[in-house]
Amino acid sequence: MQRREFFKKLGSAAAITAVIPMMSFAADAKKQAGPNEFSYEKALDVITGGKGAKASPKVSLKAPAIAENGAVVPITVEVESPMTESDYVKAIHIFATKNSNSRSASVHLTPANGKAIFAARIKLGSTQDVIALAEMSDGTFLTATQSVKVTIGGCG
Amino acid sequence: MKTGIKIALSLALLSSLSFGGEQFAMSDSDRAMYAEMLENNPADIMVANGEQLLGNLGGEAAFAKYLGVSEDKLPEYIAGFPRYIEKFKMVVGIDQVLQAMMHDAGEKPFKLKSSDMFDMLAYTKSLANGVKSNIDIDANQHMKDAYALGQKTFDTKRGGRGLSCLSCHAPAVIGSVLRTQPLPDLSSKGVAVAATWPAYRMTKSSLRTLQRRFQGCMKNALLKVIPIGSPEMVALEVYLTKQAEGTEIAIPGLKR
Amino acid sequence: MERKSLIKIKPKKYKNGDVVKINFMVMHPMETGLRKDKKTGKIVPAQYINNVKFEYNGKVITTINVWESLSANPVFTIYMKIDGPGELKVTFTENTGEVNETSTKIKPKG
């Protein structure tokens, strides 16, 4: 059923006004500067020492394409690696590119982990790209990006 | 002027929504990702707290004894709540039994609307995990009455907007999008709500119970909020538990 | 203040050499310092976990630098190779300097 019919079924114009304040609020919302404001570009520069990183299929980043709730967005990063003393993933960094502080977590791994997998839930202030940056033991940096659309609304 | 633009913009958005509800709904793979989170639900900590709190009262053995049920029958019995209990002469939820048990043990009972009670209720109900919800609304006249009152509470239009629970949860509107969220089917064909509450509410970052969820729903729809544990509220739980009959209980659930 | 936390190992039964999943969860509001209190209208000060350290029999296997954008009541999932019986200790620090720790026994079978 279409939304319009739905409102007809509700038979209530009041229900429509319920949506309007929310939308106006969204249009009004300003990006606030947080205590730890830090952009993705800056973080990437610091971590890679200016070398930068390249996208790689070795890094898999799982995140929902649409998150019903920006306060809890599940993410899982898996990096292909044997995790041996000579070849392992030193760190997995997670970034939310449009959050005022883009840094979410930096996970420093060791061969004792056996697998280079990290999962957590992050907060996203708006629709944006989430980036996983893997720091390999050979000094290279690999990334994976996933765009997450954050919807607002719902009841309660 | 500015407000005018805002309204126009909102209306434009609104009309785009009416044709594009799909684009806001999560895909099956997104849902699977959230379902994976059940494995490490943050509410596990709250349930562990509930276990400790019930442990202070003697644990499930004491709970079974208090209800006059053998310990191995307890999960089946819990899966049948809310029940009419002769001792109280009324239909009650698990939380009310816990309150009475605390009172009889000489302790100050937790309030029905308190996080400790939510935790303890969640743990107690989780003892029935894997058991199919088996509420018997024909067990006696009290249960029949509670079911009827529950349905009446569900169907009655109240509040400033003249909405009832049924307004948004009738078969005819299930699946339509309201405030970017598809309206859920509360029965066992859909989300079988009664079998998955108490649950972790992601938007509230806390463990909530079914009756607490009813309250949130009422508040948002501008209906006067009915107190937890009141006859109407318990009846509403009876009504929705009946809709989820036959569904395996899985506590704690995970909700948006 | 003391934070409630929990370490879960999956699968529950494991043996030496297995790579198991470690879920560490903690009850914490993860305040960003951007949110206003609805009642007072004042900004709620930032308070979040900023470091989580996993130690297996005294050896640090993973450390996580954390910022405020992790969800409230966070859950951290990592993997670990089982290498003998002992203890897994998790130490977590907050931006306020507060430190808490929790641990679980590692008991490989066979």
Residue A48 CA to residue A46 CA, distance in Å, equals: 6
In a domain, B122, yes or no: yes
Whether ipTM > 0.90 holds is yes
CA distances from B148 to B172, B195, B250, C108 (A): 22, 20, 26, 55
Note down the domain range covering B248: 41-255
Residue type (1 letter), A39: S
In a domain, B79, yes or no: yes
Chain A nearest C-alpha distance from B172 (Å): 9
Predicted confidence at residue B183, as pLDDT, reads: 79
In a domain, B36, yes or no: no
User: Mean pLDDT, to the nearest integer, of C48-58?
Assistant: 95
In a domain, B27, yes or no: no
In chain B, beta strands by DSSP E: 83-85, 90-92, 177-178, 181-182, 199-201, 206-208, 253-255
Residue C73 CA to residue C24 CA, distance in Å, equals: 10
Residue-wise pLDDT tens digits, B230-252: 999 999 999 999 988 888 999 99
Phi, psi of C91 (to 5 degrees): -110, 125
Residue-wise pLDDT tens digits, B159-183: 888 999 988 888 888 778 777 777 7
CATH number of the domain bearing residue C11: 2.60.40.10
Is the CB of residue C87 less than 8 Å from the CB of residue C104? Answer: yes
Q: Which helix (H) or strand (E) segment is B116 a member of?
A: helix B115-126
Using only C-alpha atoms, chain A has a radius of gyration, in whole angstroms, of 20
Residue type (1 letter), C100: N
Residue-wise pLDDT tens digits, B218-232: 998 899 999 999 999
Name the residue among B42, B48, B49 with its Cβ closest to that of C73: B42
Name the residue among B40, B44, B49 with its Cβ closest to that of C77: B40
> Pick the residue with more confidence: A136 or B192?
A136
Is the CB of residue A38 less than 8 Å from the CB of residue A103? Answer: yes
In a domain, B32, yes or no: no
Residue-wise pLDDT tens digits, A90-129: 999 999 999 989 999 999 999 999 999 999 999 998 899 9
Beta-carbon count within 10 A of B232 CB: 17
Q: How many domains does chain C have?
A: 1
In a domain, B154, yes or no: yes
> Pick the residue with more confidence: A27 or C12?
C12
CATH number of the domain bearing residue B154: 1.10.760.10
Residue-wise pLDDT tens digits, B56-78: 999 999 999 999 999 999 999 99
| Cβ neighbours of A119 in C, within 8 Å | 75-77
Phi, psi of A46 (to 5 degrees): -65, -45
Q: Which domains does chain A have, with CATH numbers?
A: 1-30 (no CATH), 40-150 (2.60.40.2470)
Q: How many domains does chain B have?
A: 1
Mutation choice for C interface testing from A97, A113, A130 by most C CBs within 10 A:
A113
Note down the domain range covering C52: 5-106
DSSP code, position A127 = S
Residue type (1 letter), C102: T
In a domain, B24, yes or no: no
